[in-house]
Chain A
Amino acid sequence: MSGIVIGNTLRTSWKQILYWGLGLGALGLYIDFIASSPDIISGYAELFKTMPPAMLKAFGASDVALFTTSEGWIVSIFVSEAAIFLSVFAVMAGLNITANDEQSGVMDVILSLPISRAAYILERWIGYALIGLAIILLTAAITVGGMVGMNIEAPSDVVFASILNLYPSVLLVMTVTSLLATVMRRRVVAIGLSAAFVIVSYLFNAIGAAAGGAAADLMERLSYFSYVHGEAFVLGTYDPANTVLVLLAVAIGFGLSLRMFVSRDIGI
Chain B
Amino acid sequence: MASGSIIEIKGLSKTYGSGSKQTAALSNLNLSVNQGEIFGYLGPNGAGKTTTIRLLLDLIRPSQGDAKIFGMDVRAESVEIHRRIGFFPAELSLWEGRTGDQIIHYVASVRGDTRGIVKHAGELAERLDLDTTKRVRDLSSGNKRKLGLVIAMMHSPELLILDEPTGGLDPLVQQTFHTMMDEYRDKGKTVFLSSHILSEVQAICDRVGILRDGELKAVESVEKITNVEFNWVDVNFRDAVPAGLQQKLENMPTITDVSANGARVRMRMIGDFDPLLRAISDGYVESLHIEEPTLEEIFLAYYSGDKETS
Contact = CB atoms under 8 A, between A and B. Distances in A.
Contacts of B151: 109
A41 B80 CA distance: 64
B112 A109 contact: no
B134 interface: no
A266 interface: yes
Interface string B219-237: 0000000000000000000
Given A105-B91, A114-B80, A267 B59 contact: yes
Interface string B74-96: 00001110110101010111110
B106 A265 contact: no
Interface of A is mostly: loop
Contacts of B16: 268
A12 B151 CA distance: 19
Given A106-B94, A265-B59, A265-B60, A114 B89 contact: no
A45 to B, nearest CB: 48
B57 interface: yes
A268 B60 contact: yes
Interface residues of A, number: 22
Given A104-B93, A114-B79, A5 B60 contact: no
A17 to B, nearest CB: 16
B253 to A, nearest CB: 50
Nearest to B58: A111
Q: Which of B60, B80, B106, B151 has the most CB of A within 10 A?
A: B106
- 5 smallest A-B Cβ distances: which pairs? A105-B93, A112-B87, A114-B83, A265-B60, A114-B82
23 contacts: A2-B110, A2-B112, A4-B106, A12-B95, A105-B89, A105-B92, A106-B94, A106-B95, A108-B54, A108-B57, A108-B87, A108-B93, A109-B89, A109-B151, A112-B57, A112-B85, A113-B111, A114-B80, A114-B83, A114-B111, A264-B61, A266-B60, A268-B16
Interface of A: 2, 4-5, 8, 12, 104-106, 108-109, 111-116, 263-268
